[in-house]
Structure 1
Amino acid sequence: MGFYLRLQQLFFILFSCLSITPIAVFAQSTPPSGITIPSDVPGKVEETISQPSPSPSNPPTPPAQTVPILPSRQQENRPNTTFPSGESFFVKEIQITGYSVLKDEIIKLKQPLENTNITFEQLLQLRSQITKLYVDNGYISSGAFIPNNQDIASGVVQIQVVEGELEGISILGLERLQTAYVRSRIARLAGKPLNQKRLEEALQLLQLDPVIERVNAELTAGSSPGSNILQVTITESPPFHAGVNFANNQSPSVGSEQGSVFIAHDNFLGFGDKFNAEYAGSEGLDIYNINYSIPFNALDGTIGVRYSNSASRIIESEFRDLDIRSEAETLSFNIRQPLTHTPNNEFAISLAFDLRRSQTYILNDIPFSFTEGPEDGKSRVTVIRFSQDWLQRNANSVLAARSQFSFGIDVFDPTINNSGTDGRFFSWVGQFQWVQRLSPRILMLAKVNTQLTPDSLLSLEKISIGGVDTVRGYSQNQIVADNGVVGGVEVRIPLASNVETLQLIPFFDIGTAWNNRGINADPQTIASLGLGLNWQPLNGLVLRADYGIPFMGTSDRGTLLQDNGFNFSVRYQPF
């Protein structure tokens, strides 16, 4: 009963704020990949799942209204026939051949002219109606004609349909990207009969691909009636990116101020494959992170591998003499496959296999367990994660949702014991994001993250609440627990003529967490109201500051900026 009461209270507060005012949304996006919490400070659940790759400094924004980038092609004239004109003749049956689509519509057009006397003009009109039917449904360069030298005395008349198709695809402008990458993505939606809308959709998907900066296309006549040649000119996006970041977004126990450097390549081997590496460090923390993924089909299915390694040391004065330190690493393999993929919608499923290990020490080199579950400070989990992603966007809004089921299994020597807290577990993560354009210049963002489990989890799999990424105004990882719900709203209000240059960001954040066994945090629920400022004085340079006023749990606050509700970040990405 207490569980349901907590959920009801949380959602009442959250959605009351959503209904009263569009001011302010959820904590920031998760930090760049690689900025993870060390094992002695349990990691955020968002870091255990593969994420899309939005711009590192800005939230996803609604796409501009798409326009056709494929010029329409005029229907070519079909040859006339030598049927006698001005005379009527009996037609028992009209045989229409060569069509593979629009069957019911074509039959409906021809039926009134069968088993009756008709004129040649009526037959020509039927031919034109069939051609128009194809063109109206987007099947450019498709049409019908009446073959010559038919024996009308038999009462059978033939009409031939020629369905348009691509004779070839000419691709120009590629530098590093492989031709097969572009060709396969066009061919997927350019089958016979050739449909202009589907072909434009394929080209728009290429335009949205981060590997490609610009797409120009022209459709010309091929060597035979109905055949076409598509000439596509591609301008590739700069594939290499690098930058540095400095922020006070790390746990105070290992040093809240953290610097990082990252490099990324969006087309590493020319197959649209992505590679990125990052190092981050604070006074008591060093993290290394490497990711690689490669597409394996034209629907943007990908396989990937991720490795991260961290070493941390508690630097807080009351624990410094104990020389508490930890080491952690994660190796993850994943496969992701979109099932539907259009310029405005996507639904994908993914499967990941994670190996996560951590070891904690006291007095520098003595293995020691600080929580229930680990054996001599060692925690090991082997996890299978099944995820479903959904995205829908239009000119004014973006909706995204993710559901993930995680199963801790007894493979590759996980932590197994009789304490009730080990590597055998089940958990569910649900995430929802909403971006809404309130006016041509103002955006509202809303976000809800949930983790639910019936089990007592090792710290590697717990959810943490508090800090710039969840509930601002509180220290990073203020609450760590098995279950949690976090949400918030924010509004981005531009203060300069350029929307991205200077933004005022009022926000409201709230979260609650609880354990299935053991003691819960006091308070279990935290919330804050605050104001942020995002400034981009130069291209590639982003400065961000947030100040949150906490509503509860403020009696034991430290002296750091983060402890007192202030977060900042400076990010520079020159290319």
Structure 2
Amino acid sequence: MLKAALLSVGIAIASSWLLPAAAQSSPPSEIPPEAPEVIEQTIPRLEPSVPLPELPAPLPEPSLQTPAPPPAEDALPEGTALPITSVEIVGFTVLQDEIAAALGEFEGVEAVVPFCDSVSDSMSADDSVIEGSDNQQSCGLRATVDPQRMTFATLVELRSAVTQLYIDNGYITSGAFLPNNQDLSDGDAQIQVVEGQLERIDVGGLNRLNDSYVRDRVELATDQPLNRDRLEEALQLLQLDPLLEQVNAELTAGTIPGQNVLRLNVQEAPSLQASVLTDNSQSSSIGSEQLSVSASYANLLGRGDRLTGGYGVTEGLDAYDVSYALPLNARDGTLTLRYGQDDSGIIEDELRDLDIDIRSESETISLGFRQPVVRSPEAEIALGLTFDLRRSQTFLNDEPFSFAVGPEEGESRVAVLRFSQEWVDRNATSVLAARSQFSLGIDAFDATINETGPDGQFLSWQGQFQWVQQLTPSRIVLVSQIGAQLTPDSLLSLERFSVGGVSTVRGYAQNQLVADNGIFGSVEARIPLTADANRLQLAPFFDIGSAWNNGDNPDPDPGAIASLGLGLRWQVTPDLAARLDYGIPLTEVEDRGNSLQENGIHFSIRYQPF
């Protein structure tokens, strides 16, 4: 039902793409020459998919209570002499080389070799298998010993050494013992290994979230033999999950020896989250100061899904965005459906004085899947595949009108396949993050196709690299990032790269430079001013960027911009944060306006009530 509903919504929205556009209107007698550039700056850009990382909080220590290893069952008095010539160790599936090396160090042990009597006497170590298989019941390691030196005390030490190896390697519920009533007349003694395994996982404390969401993620770390380190890592990942507030775990003995029960007591995080933001991050031609609200609700279906919505408004802009994310597997592979729409109008006085009304409409439909392939509390590698339908149309006095080469009657449409690769590595003092994305524009869903000039068929690459490093012991944090887009094609406005503004080069207007290709870099030092390093920070910075076009499109003028500046970050309360940046432009640009943003001042205030 859910998939059918999502498909119906997607078809209903996509159908609007097939409607014919209205005819091109006749232009008024006088249009300011900068109008196309102004329009270019108002087209929504693809936001960076990897937000600038912060230093992580210390990783949560998993609350895992574990049982003691299985007790040894020694069958003979310790001082008894043993007329044996070999000791067999059976029942293990891991640590074969380590066990062989440990046994070889004992006095009286002459050689340690793998064996499997039911198959061959000449098996290599790699071929050795374990007792417990249906077809090969007597495989393991055989230690040849000197009967003059082998006592029961030595045999106990051998058994203890095997148990300690398991414990040292995190297999805390595994161990070795000497079976009772062994027949030693043939000169062979046996050490039996019992490897711990999980009998079941009990989950308690959940309200809306399904038990299977937690259980399936923990089960990934419970392969036999049960390993404490893998289990603790899985519990740390659960603790980092934004859906969960607290995770406590207890490992207890099961109904039979070697079996264990994992009891999880989980507290859910609040389902509803919301934030209110005011900043001046929009293009000044539609009103740079904006107010936006966003909210998300988790566990709508109890499967870890999340519904998110946002709305932003400026003097000339109305924008909203709705997305739904659904985890599809225990490794956090997530399907995301998103729809966004922007309606904007130019508010510049020069156009108003000429009684010229210029506005644009943009919308995006996106369906994507992201799958982590390597995931731990310290690192993650993920792959993603997304299909985007994007449309933008410009109007002059309420009639469709093209201000640039490429759009048809003011309308641009693209259908884009995007393949992304992400990598994050973090520790207590640094974070490294990188993202690569290839975008392929295809001739589908009525995409804009032209014989010459920009159209919807293209190939582009976007890359981002970000590094956050704490300079101990000063507590100063160095933040640097690089972003770029490269393409051999001429792109429609929807897919062009922008440089300028708070997220690229501060001190300049948002989208100051817009072109097919671009690159920017930023270095910032965050200097704490209070005992709490995150409460109040001074942030000097240097930003630089460049943009250029392909084909016959003229390059932006200037082609590169740079700035030096100073910022102030203030975490007023855990729910309220503010930031102020002042950038001094190092490259002059024409027609700098009078807004705060165009005079190098960028601000943001964010409040998260819940």
**TM-score of the pair, normalised by structure 1:** 0.88
AA of the residue aligned to 2:603: F
1:107 aligns with 2:100: yes
- Please state whether the residue corresponding to 2:200 is helix, strand or coil: strand
1:289 aligns with 2:349: no
Deviates more, 1:481-490 or 1:153-162: 153-162
Deviation at 1:327, TM superposition (A): 1.0
Deviation at 1:555, TM superposition (A): 4.4
- Where does residue 8 of structure 2 map in the other structure? none
Deviation at 1:186, TM superposition (A): 0.9
Deviation at 1:168, TM superposition (A): 2.2
- Where does residue 229 of structure 1 map in the other structure? 261
Tell me, in whole angstroms, the C-alpha distance in 2 between the residues paired with 1:109 and 1:439: 42
Deviation at 1:512, TM superposition (A): 0.6
- Where does residue 96 of structure 1 map in the other structure? 89
- Where does residue 69 of structure 2 map in the other structure? 75
Tell me, in whole angstroms, the C-alpha distance in 1 between the residues paired with 2:556 and 2:50: 29
Tell me, in whole angstroms, the C-alpha distance in 1 between the residues paired with 2:515 and 2:190: 74
- Where does residue 193 of structure 1 map in the other structure? 225
1:414-563 matches, within 5 Å, as 414-439=447-472, 441-517=475-551, 518-563=553-598
- Please state whether the residue corresponding to 2:57 is helix, strand or coil: coil
1:313 aligns with 2:314: no
Aligned match of 1:387 in 398, 411, 420? 420
Aligned match of 1:408 in 441, 449, 452? 441
**Cα deviations by residue, 1:487-512 (Å, 9 ceiling, x for unpaired):** 10112222233333322211111101
AA of the residue aligned to 1:60: E
AA of the residue aligned to 1:130: V
- Please state whether the residue corresponding to 1:89 is helix, strand or coil: coil
1:22-61 matches, within 5 Å, as 41-46=42-47, 50-51=49-50, 59-61=53-55
**Cα deviations by residue, 1:133-169 (Å, 9 ceiling, x for unpaired):** 1111000110111212222222333221110112222
Deviation at 1:523, TM superposition (A): 1.1
CA contact (8 A) 1:389 1:403 kept: yes
Tell me, in whole angstroms, the C-alpha distance in 2 between the residues paired with 1:235 and 1:88: 56
Deviates more, 1:107-116 or 1:224-233: 107-116
CA contact (8 A) 1:177 1:271 kept: yes
Task: Say if 1:76 and 1:372 are closer, same or farther in 2 by CA, change over 3 A.
Answer: same
- Where does residue 572 of structure 1 map in the other structure? 607
Deviation at 1:525, TM superposition (A): 0.7
- Please state whether the residue corresponding to 1:272 is helix, strand or coil: coil
CA contact (8 A) 1:256 1:282 kept: yes
- Where does residue 164 of structure 2 map in the other structure? 132
AA of the residue aligned to 1:420: G
Tell me, in whole angstroms, the C-alpha distance in 2 between the residues paired with 1:552 and 1:141: 66
Tell me, in whole angstroms, the C-alpha distance in 2 between the residues paired with 1:521 and 1:545: 28
Q: Greater RCO between the two (CA within 8 Å, min separation 6)?
A: 1
Deviation at 1:522, TM superposition (A): 1.4
Tell me, in whole angstroms, the C-alpha distance in 2 between the residues paired with 1:502 and 1:269: 40
Deviation at 1:535, TM superposition (A): 2.3
- Please state whether the residue corresponding to 2:421 is helix, strand or coil: strand
Deviation at 1:559, TM superposition (A): 1.3
CA contact (8 A) 1:45 1:461 kept: yes
Deviation at 1:116, TM superposition (A): 3.6
**Cα deviations by residue, 1:206-258 (Å, 9 ceiling, x for unpaired):** 11111112222222222222222222222222221112222111101111111
**Cα deviations by residue, 1:171-196 (Å, 9 ceiling, x for unpaired):** 22212221111111111112210101
Task: Say if 1:407 and 1:336 are closer, same or farther in 2 by CA, change over 3 A.
Answer: same
Tell me, in whole angstroms, the C-alpha distance in 2 between the residues paired with 1:115 and 1:76: 26
Task: Say if 1:230 and 1:100 are closer, same or farther in 2 by CA, change over 3 A.
Answer: same
Tell me, in whole angstroms, the C-alpha distance in 1 between the residues paired with 2:393 and 2:590: 32
Aligned match of 1:397 in 417, 426, 430? 430
CA contact (8 A) 1:472 1:528 kept: yes
AA of the residue aligned to 2:497: I
Tell me, in whole angstroms, the C-alpha distance in 1 between the residues paired with 2:494 and 2:589: 27
Tell me, in whole angstroms, the C-alpha distance in 2 between the residues paired with 1:40 and 1:358: 13
Tell me, in whole angstroms, the C-alpha distance in 2 between the residues paired with 1:84 and 1:65: 46
Identical-residue share of aligned pairs (%): 54
Tell me, in whole angstroms, the C-alpha distance in 1 between the residues paired with 2:581 and 2:102: 66
Tell me, in whole angstroms, the C-alpha distance in 1 between the residues paired with 2:39 and 2:170: 56
Tell me, in whole angstroms, the C-alpha distance in 1 between the residues paired with 2:78 and 2:503: 79
Aligned match of 1:302 in 306, 309, 334? 334
AA of the residue aligned to 2:550: N
AA of the residue aligned to 2:67: R
- Where does residue 143 of structure 1 map in the other structure? 175
- Please state whether the residue corresponding to 2:419 is helix, strand or coil: strand
Tell me, in whole angstroms, the C-alpha distance in 2 between the residues paired with 1:69 and 1:139: 17
Tell me, in whole angstroms, the C-alpha distance in 2 between the residues paired with 1:368 and 1:39: 14
CA contact (8 A) 2:40 2:514 kept: no
AA of the residue aligned to 1:223: T
Tell me, in whole angstroms, the C-alpha distance in 2 between the residues paired with 1:249 and 1:431: 20
**Cα deviations by residue, 1:43-87 (Å, 9 ceiling, x for unpaired):** 33335xx557x8xxxx52233155453245322312121489532
- Please state whether the residue corresponding to 2:591 is helix, strand or coil: coil
Tell me, in whole angstroms, the C-alpha distance in 1 between the residues paired with 2:245 and 2:313: 34
1:153-172 matches, within 5 Å, as 153-172=185-204
AA of the residue aligned to 2:261: I
- Where does residue 251 of structure 1 map in the other structure? 283
Task: Say if 1:38 and 1:275 are closer, same or farther in 2 by CA, change over 3 A.
Answer: farther
1:356 aligns with 2:426: no
Tell me, in whole angstroms, the C-alpha distance in 2 between the residues paired with 1:63 and 1:342: 15
- Please state whether the residue corresponding to 2:171 is helix, strand or coil: coil
Task: Say if 1:532 and 1:109 are closer, same or farther in 2 by CA, change over 3 A.
Answer: closer
- Please state whether the residue corresponding to 1:213 is helix, strand or coil: strand
1:261-280 matches, within 5 Å, as 261-280=293-312
CA contact (8 A) 1:38 1:310 kept: no
- Where does residue 26 of structure 1 map in the other structure? none
Tell me, in whole angstroms, the C-alpha distance in 2 between the residues paired with 1:403 and 1:158: 56
CA contact (8 A) 1:40 1:360 kept: no
Task: Say if 1:189 and 1:39 are closer, same or farther in 2 by CA, change over 3 A.
Answer: farther
Aligned match of 2:271 in 216, 229, 239? 239
CA contact (8 A) 1:39 1:328 kept: no
CA contact (8 A) 1:385 1:404 kept: yes
**Cα deviations by residue, 1:338-358 (Å, 9 ceiling, x for unpaired):** 111101010010100101111
Task: Say if 1:246 and 1:68 are closer, same or farther in 2 by CA, change over 3 A.
Answer: closer
Deviation at 1:39, TM superposition (A): 7.1
- Please state whether the residue corresponding to 2:64 is helix, strand or coil: coil
Tell me, in whole angstroms, the C-alpha distance in 1 between the residues paired with 2:580 and 2:76: 80
AA of the residue aligned to 1:89: P
Tell me, in whole angstroms, the C-alpha distance in 1 between the residues paired with 2:340 and 2:40: 12
Deviation at 1:437, TM superposition (A): 1.2
Tell me, in whole angstroms, the C-alpha distance in 1 between the residues paired with 2:261 and 2:574: 40
Tell me, in whole angstroms, the C-alpha distance in 1 between the residues paired with 2:424 and 2:337: 23
